[in-house]
Structure 1
Amino acid sequence: MEQDPITLIISLAGGILSFLLLMRFALQLSQADYYNPISQSVVRLTQPIVGPLQRVLRPKGRFDFATLIVALAVKAIAILVLIKMSPMFASAGGSISPLHLLIFSLAGTLNTLLTIYFWATLGAVIISWIAPDSYHPAPQLLLQLSEPLFALARKVIPPIGGLDLSPILIFLLIQIVQGYLSALVVI
């Protein structure tokens, strides 16, 4: 399917920005090492966008609602711009109801967050096989990001004979939720 280059650029820019914002949210939620160079880069890249709202909405413990709200706003703006540019919606005036825009941006934000956790879990599994004691910042960050999910899943499926099956449960749940969200995800 051919896609207009402008639409592709807007979709890509909105996707990358929302990914960075949600990565920041996930890193703070999992209490990953703030001094990890990758964490520092994510915070440095997103601070100009999140900083003004954080002055009003201070983080509550591990939850940074300002970052989450900005990620939702970025998704909503990208969706709105894509709809305005779409020839299919041009006949309808290129409009969308605020409720539909909120639903699409919530679904897109949740889908992006689940994708982050999917790849972090997959990366943590692979790292546990090939370099379990690596001191590189990337494997450390992946392990810190996915460990809270592993801990929750281990409550349901404890390790059996030294074999941790919790990633299977995590992958299954993420795929089920993303399957339901697929009809609502625009970008």
Structure 2
Amino acid sequence: MNNSLGMAAIYVVQTLGGLYVLVALLRFLLQTARADFYNPISQFVVRATQPLLAPLRRVIPGFGGLDLASLVLTLLVQMLVLAIIFLLAIGSLPNILQLLVWSMVAVVALLTKVFFFALIISVILSWVAPGSRNPAALLVHQLCEPLLTPIRRILPNLGGLDLSPIFGFIALRLVDMLVVAELAKATGMPPGLTLAL
């Protein structure tokens, strides 16, 4: 029974903590992509992160158009989630440096997942609802543009056929294989930890 309660507690922490990490990361990404601030989804992200972000902004300034405070918030929440999971699972904490490195790996893994699913949604919407003015569709498009624009500059013009999402998927998969997986292995990150968050 105790084991079942522990597993249930870990599941709740992973789910709720992972959702908040996602929202905090979206705050960083949406500001980086200069997404529409008045979009209802953007408004939700701002309201959900503002209470924790406001104090951080007093001590962490932005740099070069990047909202570093929201990135730090993402890392801090990820560290807290990992710390609680370790306490529940084995009753002790890894050292703080290891926790920080594992949190950074988990955030990069989440970043690749966000772009991966945003690209999938964007491609599907371009087939079934091209030019949609739905707030979610517009936000997905704005989120994908920073990833796809550099690829479009390199690719030759193929007469209206946009192959940039294919190369975007390839780039994301390479980052996942060569950066995330190798960093997780090199830092001794427990298997499956990035997948759980």
Q: TM-score, normalised by structure 2?
A: 0.85
2:49 is the counterpart of 1:51: no
Q: Which moved more, 1:95-104 or 1:16-25?
A: 95-104
Q: Which moved more, 1:112-121 or 1:25-34?
A: 112-121
Aligned-residue RMSD, C-alpha: 1.8
Alignment of 1:79-118 (within 5 A): 79-86=82-89, 89-90=90-91, 94-118=92-116
Q: What SS does the corresponding residue of 1:4 show, helix, strand or coil?
A: helix
CA contact (8 A) 1:154 1:166 kept: yes
Aligned-residue offset at 1:39: 0.4
2:27 is the counterpart of 1:24: yes
Give me the whole-angstrom Cα distance separating, in 1, the residues matched to 2:60 and 2:83: 25
Q: Structure 1: which 4+ aligned runs deviate by more than 6 Å?
A: none
CA 1:78–1:136: 2 relative to 1, 3 Å: same
Give me the whole-angstrom Cα distance separating, in 2, the residues matched to 1:152 and 1:145: 14
Aligned to 1:78: 81
| Structure 2 stretches lacking a partner, 5+ long | none
Whichever residue aligns with residue 53 of structure 2, its letter is V
Give me the whole-angstrom Cα distance separating, in 2, the residues matched to 1:63 and 1:107: 20
**Percent identity over paired residues:** 36
Deviation digits for residues 83-127 of structure 1 (CA, Å, limit 9, x no counterpart): 1221xx44xxx2312221111000001111111111111111111
Give me the whole-angstrom Cα distance separating, in 1, the residues matched to 2:38 and 2:62: 18
| Structure 1 stretches lacking a partner, 5+ long | none
CA contact (8 A) 2:21 2:77 kept: yes
